[in-house]
Structure 1
Amino acid sequence: MTAARGRDDRQAGISLRVIGRIRTPFVEAPGTPIQSAYAEGSEGIVIVDDVFAEALDDIEGFDRVWLVYWMDRVSTFKPHVVPYRDTRERGLFATRSPCRPNPIGISVVRILGRDGGRLRVADVDMLDDTPLLDIKPYVPEFDAYPSAKAGWFDECGVDRRIADGRFHAPDDSARGGRR
């Protein structure tokens, strides 16, 4: 990618534009589902900024969408973590822990309806008022690989489905997030 553009992206810097907010019933990490697959029935509203509302045209034809968002209330980067579904420390990139160099979250949610720039969705697993970065349609042909190996996760014996707060900052100071 760098060679094709003729510049070093690591030095150029990257900026992201927040395109809206995700409203959910979860105001703090403890008690929040750890993945959208474990959040069945929890409902939320995706509020897209007016300038992007028409980009939602045709989204109603999809059952599910990927929400890409900024996890603004997590602790800082940790190279090793004990993931929710395990009891031993793992390399961060072999987990779904939110304590990443760039705290970008992804969740597949179910579309319940659309009203202009608002999507009513189910199976939300993010905190209330989370900054939204992007929306992409979920396409089973592209997004599902049921026979793929899942590393340590295939052998883990822990069945935790709800967060306990271990990865979230004690206050808003960690990433400048809002509550």
Structure 2
Amino acid sequence: MPDKIEMHPIGVIHSPYKESKDIPIQGTFKGDVEAWAELKEKYLPGLKDLEEFSHAILIYYFHRSDAENIQGKPFLEEKKHGIFAIRSPNRPNHIGLSIVKIKSIKGNRLYFTEADMLDGTPLLDIKPYVKHFDSRDQVVSGWLDKHFKDGKIPGNTIIK
């Protein structure tokens, strides 16, 4: 196994979120917020046929996260959990993943909603969300399951 892996951004994400405190816990909590990913010109051909999908998975780098916690206190809990059991940006490799709703593609820009990343976030990859592969039945969400009741979490936020 290599000790070091080198990655290069394929573009940058632009969103209305300038500070971490402004970002929703999950993009679906503010589903109408628009953002876009601007790809480097050499990756423009890679967008071909993506407009046929309703959603995409964006993989990106948490460029303003400087902590590398192995445990942390997540949303809805005061108890610490292991970093691999929570969705904190303070991860060993600072890699983020979000499912977004595609609005349109124009030139080298992918416009989307359900954003939960900072403006200026380096984009590492894009994959189409495929319901036949990416959705699972009978999922257990560990410690989070006790917080969900009738599709809602505390504060009456509806989970779609």
Work out whether residues 33 and 125 of structure 1, in 8 Å CA contact, stay in contact via their aligned partners in 2.
Answer: yes
Q: Deviations over 1:73-111 (max 9, x none)?
A: 113111111001222111111101111110100001111
Q: Which residue of 1 aligns with 2:86?
A: 95
Tell me the residue number matched to 1:47.
38
SS at match of 2:102: strand
Say which of 97, 101, 104 aligns to 1:110. 101
Residue 145 of structure 2 corresponds to which residue in structure 1? Answer: 154
The alpha-carbon deviation at position 59 of structure 1 amounts to 0.5
2:110 aligned residue = 119
Q: Which residue in the other structure is 1:164 paired with? A: none
1:80 aligns with 2:71: yes
- When normalised by structure 1's length, the TM-score is 0.80
Which residue identity does 1:97 align to in structure 2? S
2:98, 2:116 within 8 Å by CA — same for their partners in 1? yes
The Cα offsets for residues 129-173 of structure 1, whole Å up to 9 and x where unpaired, read as 100000000001111114210100101376379xxxxxxxxxxxx
Q: Which amino acid in the other structure matches residue 21 of structure 2?
A: P
How big is the alpha-carbon RMSD for the aligned residues of Structure 1 and Structure 2?
1.8
Counterpart in the other structure of 1:169: none
Q: Is the 1:68–1:135 Cα contact (8 Å) retained in structure 2? A: yes
Q: Name the counterpart of 2:29.
A: 38
TM-score under structure 2 length normalisation: 0.89
What residue is the counterpart of 1:144 in the other structure?
A: 135
Inter-CA distance 146–42: structure 2 relative to 1 (3 Å threshold): farther
- How many residue pairs are counted as aligned between the two chains? 153
Residues 78-87 or 50-59, more deviating: 78-87
The runs of 5 or more residues in structure 1 that have no matched partner are: 1-7, 162-179
% identical equivalent positions: 36
Greater percentage in strand: 2
Supply the distance in 2 between the matched residues of 1:42 and 1:79 (Cα, whole angstroms).
31
Give the whole-Å Cα distance in 2 for the aligned partners of 1:119 and 1:50. 13
Matches of 2:101 and 2:76 in 1, distance apart? 24
Q: Do 1:19 and 1:48's aligned partners in 2 also have CA atoms closer than 8 Å? A: yes
Matched, 1:29 2:29: no
Q: Which residue in the other structure is 1:4 paired with?
A: none
Given that residues 84 and 160 in structure 1 are in contact (C-alpha distance below 8 angstroms), is that contact kept between their aligned partners in structure 2? no
What secondary structure is seen at the aligned counterpart in 1 of 2:57? strand
